[in-house]
Amino acid sequence: MPIAEQGYQHWSGRLSGHAWRWLAITHRGVQIQFRNRFLRYVLFAAWTPAFLLVCMLSIWGLLEQKSKWVSTVVQFLRFINPHVIAQPRYYRLDVWRLCYGYFMHVELFFSMLIVLIVGPGLISQDLRVNALPLYFSRPLRRIDYFLGKLGVISFFIGMVTILPAVIAYVFGLLFSLNWHVAVVTFPILLAAVTYGIIICISAGTLMLAFSSLSRNLRYVALFWLGFWFVSGVVSDVLISGHNQQLRSQYYHSAPVLQPSTGAPSGRLLSRQYWRQFHSYQFEAQLHDWRPLVSYTGNLNRLGNKLLGINDVWLKLAKLEPNRWRRSFLLMRFGGPWYPWYWSLALLTGLFLGSAGLLKWSIRSFDRMK
């Protein structure tokens, strides 16, 4: 077989800057992941809450205009306080914050599931086929490689968090027919986008760190399930045990009510006991550290702080006539109530630990250039 002489051939393509070399890795990784049929099903299911968010913001915009189109829908909003329904413009920001809060809470689950599908093989597969020396034989740095892999996870998380939030915001403005709404509600959109970016960076770096620990995709997936699902279960068990302990402490410390002639019945005494206990339990949750055990619980706490969810529930609780109903409302729908900077410190430590682990695991291959 003859061998043709090959000399220098000038390349006439367009050179890109060094800062965008990671984009080629992201682009290729996204193309490969879109071949996964199960991932496409999850993305489709994740857009269902986005559709509900668009509907809720659109309905509230029509409600502010007192449109006849929502007269039949108002009867399905009986779960909302009548004072809020009667003054939709006054409670506009509160309703928008709650809608975005519930939306991001649901999408956080889909984000964790997407990371489980997309993330395990991003670095683990390169380790298994020994592709890292090929990567770093090019003018590619470790930071470019990491950003390219992180971009794959961030792309799919952004598809179910950031992109739907922006689309719902646009629809909310269109149905409000008031450009002043854009100025007032823009901080809510900014908070939702910031929260989505935090999820991308935190979950992405953590998954990449797990992926760099093993060449086996199953082990990496188990690492992620253990950190995501098991940590949430352990946190729920600790919280449930703490609540039982609070009930026992309050039962022994509460004054004993003896029924007498003309005194309330035993059922009413039980009601009074539980009303006081709800207030006692809410006070105990203000500095409860047990939700910190859950990884998603920490992300939820930062999201609640960015969107101001707890402040909204404090405002809505003032509409309740009784103190025990306020405590029950705050305990049932609000929270977690512990200081938000606890979660910020913990997530920052996880990010720094993940970045350090990635740097250590890829260091030997980077020196082969």
Of 124-128, 240-244, 365-369, the range with the lowest mean pLDDT is 365-369
242-254 average pLDDT score: 69
* Domain ranges for the chain: 20-251+266-366
- Give the per-residue pLDDT at 244: 77
Mean pLDDT lowest for which of 64-68, 170-174, 314-318? 64-68
Question: Residue 329's closest CA among 337, 340, 320, 338?
Answer: 320
| Cβ–Cβ < 8 Å for 362, 212 | yes
pLDDT of 264 reads: 47
Residue 242 CA: distances (Å) to CA of 18, 23, 238, 289, 290 = 53, 48, 6, 11, 9
pLDDT for the residue 241: 82
Instruction: Using alpha carbons, select from 318, 251, 221, 330 the residue that is nearest to residue 283.
Output: 330
Residue type, 277: F
Q: Which of 319, 325, 323, 332 is nearest to 86 (CA)?
A: 319
pTM for the full predicted model: 0.84
DSSP 321: S
Q: What is the mean pLDDT of the chain?
A: 81
Give the pair of three-digit tokens for residue 48: 């269902």
Question: Does the structure show a pLDDT above 70 at 268?
Answer: no
Judged against a pLDDT cut of 50, whether residue 27 lies above it is answered with yes
The structure tokens listed for 103 are 């939306």
Least confident window among 74-83, 184-193, 236-245, 338-347 = 74-83
Give residue 232's Cα distance to chain centre.
14
Residue with tokens 């709404």: 181
Phi, psi of 366 (to 5 degrees): -65, -30
CB 230 within 8 A of CB 293: no
At 263 the pLDDT is 45
**Average pLDDT over every residue of 46-60:** 87
- Percent of the chain whose predicted confidence (pLDDT) is above 90: 32
